[in-house]
Amino acid sequence: MRRFLWIPAILTLLVCSSFIALVSTSSDRQNQVKLAGATGAKAQGVHSISVTPWGPDQTTIDETKSKLLRNPTLQRYLDGRNYRFLSFDFVESAVKQMPPEPPSRYRATFFNYASNRSVVATGSFIEDAVTVSLPPEQPTPSPEEFEAAVKILMKDPELGDAIRDGSLQPYPPMPPLLDIDQPVNKVERTLTVGLLPKDSSRKNEIVGVNMIRETVSRYDGGAPQTSYAVESNCGVTSAGQATTSNGTAGQFEVVISRGTEEIWRFICIRPSASSGNNRSGIELQNVRYRTKLVLARANAPILNVQYYRNACGPFRDWSWQEGMFVANGTDVPDTNGGVRLCTDEPETVLDNGTDSGNYRGVAIYDREEVTLVSELNAGWYRYITKWIFHDDGMISPRFGFGATINSCVCNGHIHHVYWRFDFDVATAANNAVEEFNQGIPKSIDTESMCPRLSPDQFWRVFNTMTGEAVLIKPGPLDGNYDKFGQGDLWMLRNHFPAEIDDSGQPSGSCSTCAHLNPMLTNESIAGQDVVVWYGGHWAHDHFDQHPMHGDGPHVNGPDLILQKY
C-alpha cells in the first residue's frame, strides 16, 4: 500500500530560546547598505515552529524499492546477484511548479559488477512501469559500498590482519574512486580506502579496491596520483560513525510564527533527499515571508575544492551524506528522524572540534532567530549547511568547512560553494536585477557574471510591478573568484530543470570546476524569472590558528535582506 503524507496533522512545538546576543544584528546589516528593510516588530518571546511531512514517506519509499527489485525489466540489466543498490533519488518535475508539488517519480542507481556498468531505473511511485538507462558516469559510492570495499581489503594477506587488530583504521578518502572522471566502460570500478596507522610502526596509506575482481592495489608514494598520504596529518579525529545515504524520506513544510502571526513558511528538504546531481545540502522551496513569496528554491548544488600547486585533487564533492553532530532535543514525529527541534544550540565539528554526535538530519533551534543546520560528510571533509531566518526579514545562508585527519588538508586549498537562488520576488515573473557599488545603482538587463569588487557592493532583485525586493549582501569571508572558481555571482534567466545544477554543461579542461559560464547566453533578465548563483570562496590554511566556531573564519555566506515585504 502506498502511504503519502500529503496533509498530516501538524505538530507545533515551542522551542526553548537562549536569547544569545547577536554579534551583528540584522538591523546593523541593513544600516550598512543604507536601505530600509522589512518592517517587522522586534521579536519577543519564543517562536512557534510547526513541521509537517510533505511528500512520499519512508514506508512508500521502502515499498517502491522492494517492488523495483522484482521488476523484470530492471532484472535483465542486473544479471543476477552481483550488483549493488547505490542510491534512490527523487526526480524533478519537467516544469517549474508554484506552489511546488511533492515528487511523484524516482531514480534508482545500481552498479552491476558482473558487467562493470552503471544501471539507472526511473519510475513512478504510482505506476509499475520502469525505464532503464546505462549512463557512462561513475556514480558516487554509497556508505554501504565503502564498507563492502573494506571487507574485501580485510582479506588482503598484507593488510587484513592490521585492520582487524586495529593497527590500521580504514577511512573514506578523496577522491572516492580511482579514475573517477573516466567512463564506466573504460575502467574497472575501483574504490579508494584510506588506512590511518595507530602508531609509527606502520605508514599512512590510501589503497585502491577493485570491486570487479575484488583485488587490492597499492601505489608509489602511498596514494593515487590525485591524493596524498604521508606521515604528517591534519584535522580532527574521525569518529567513524554511521552516515545517511541519499534517497531517504526528508521533505517537510516548516512554519515559523510568533503568537498568531506567521512570519516564515517554506518547504525544507534534508540533504539526503535534496536535488541536483551531487545533491545540495539543506534545500528550501516555496519560501514565503508574511505570506508573500520570496524564493521558489534555494540550495547549494555545487561544492568543490582546489589545492595550491595541485598538491591534491582538485575534487568535486557531494552534499547528501549526512554526518553525526550534537543536537539535543526531540525528533518531530512522522519525519523519519529527519527533523529535530533542539533545546539548546547544536554543535557541529566547527563548534566543538569533534567528529562525534548524537544526531544526523536537520536540527532546528530558536533564539532571537531560527536556525536550520546539518553536517555533511564527503570523504574526509566535513561541511556545515545552515539557514538562519530573522523575524525582520532576512535569510542568512551559511556554509562551513572542516575535515577529519588526513594528509591533503595540511596543504593550502580553497573551498568553493555555489548557492542557487531561484528568486520569485512576490511573483515568478517581473523580476529584475540592479547592482550597487558605492551607492550607485546599475541595471543588469542581460545574463551576466558579476565579480565582487568592493566591500560596499551589493545586488538588488526586485519586482518591477509591485516593488518588493531582496538585497544580496556579500559576507566578509566570501572571497573572490580565481581561475578555478570561475566567478562570484551569475545573473541568469531561469531554465528549469535544465540548469538546476551544472551537470549538463560543457566541462572543458576542468571537470571539477563549476560550469556556470556556459549558461550565459546573453538572454534578457529584465522583467523575467531570475536565478542568481552565488559563489563563496574560502581559503583554508590549516596552520592559520583562527578558532573554529559559529560564524567565524570557517564559515561564509551572504545575507538576503527583504525590502517592502
pLDDT digits (tens, 9 = 90+) for 225-262: 999 999 999 999 999 999 998 778 999 999 999 999 99
User: Residue 210: in which H helix or E strand, if any?
Assistant: strand 205-210
Q: Which residue has the cell 573554529?
A: 548
Question: Taking the chain (565 residues) in consecutive chunks of 10 residues, what is each chunk's mean pLDDT?
Answer: 36 35 32 33 71 94 95 92 94 89 96 96 95 95 97 96 96 96 93 94 94 97 95 94 89 96 98 95 98 98 97 97 98 95 96 97 96 98 98 98 96 97 97 96 98 96 98 96 97 95 88 96 98 96 50 85 97
Q: Which residue has the cell 539535543?
A: 328
Cite the beta strand spans of 42-104 per DSSP E. 48-53, 83-90
pLDDT digits (tens, 9 = 90+) for 491-549: 999 999 999 999 989 888 899 999 999 999 999 999 999 999 999 999 987 655 443 33
Distance separating alpha carbons of residues 109 and 133, to the nearest angstrom: 10
Which residues, 6 or more positions from 28, have their beta carbon under 8 angstroms from its beta carbon? none
- CB-side neighbour CA atoms (13 Å) of 444: 27
∠186-191-197 over CA atoms, to 5°? 145
What's this model's pTM, rounded to 2 decimal places?
Answer: 0.91
